[in-house]
Amino acid sequence: MKILMVYAHPEPKSMNGAMFHTAITTLQKAGHEVKTSDLYAMPFNPISDRTNFTSVYDDAFFKQQLEEKHASRIHGFAADIAAEQEKVAWCDVMIWQFPLWWFSVPAILKGWVDRVFAMGTSYGDGHIYETGIYTGKKAMLSLTTGGPENAYLPGGLHGDLDVLLKPIHRGIFQFTGFSVLEPQVIYGPVRLTPEERAEALEQWALRLTHIAEEATIEVTAY
């Protein structure tokens, strides 16, 4: 399989960094082809504006979706965006590795979506959800949390994690046609012993060895 790892954490020695590198090693060992986007290391510019484009549709008023549609027709995206769009189009499975910050993804990862998932290349002209451009591809969130697992259950302190992740699962992945795999979550890694962290990484590697056969999950509409 062709697998894209999108990684968003500023510290390479973090648990997220360990999960990222464990995934690459495990997937390659299993015979999969892996491409990566290490957003902080690149460094990827998350700010979406006219620098997204080498082309101009309307120089008097900037409307991003119209500029995206125009750029999609004439290959007018900036080189950094075009490179990321090619990776997304190439992959069979896309995995995001990140820490849950303010109940969502880090800003650099959201900015990556804002710039890369463009009208005309990732969606548009009726190609959304079941008819999405990325139909046939799978996507997975792999993340860490600050709090313990019981804080992310229905009725827990922070609420149901599945509900917190729905804007990504439904609003980004399924909207563009991706099918969704069960998220991989390591709760409160800062509170784990070295042995527990090592065990968590082993379980992550074990799951990845069977990723080609893994079934997708149902994500309900809002």
Candidate list 124, 146, 147, 156, residue with the active-site label: 146
Q: Which of 151, 155, 204, 148 is CA-nearest to residue 181?
A: 204
Q: Which two tokens stand for residue 136?
A: 């046939």
Q: Check if 152 is active-site.
A: yes
- How far apart CA 53 and CA 79 sit, in angstroms, is 9
Q: Which of 111, 152, 169, 187 is catalytic?
A: 152
Catalytic residue check, 123: no
- Which one from 21, 70, 127, 158 is the annotated catalytic residue? 158
Catalytic residues: 146, 152, 158
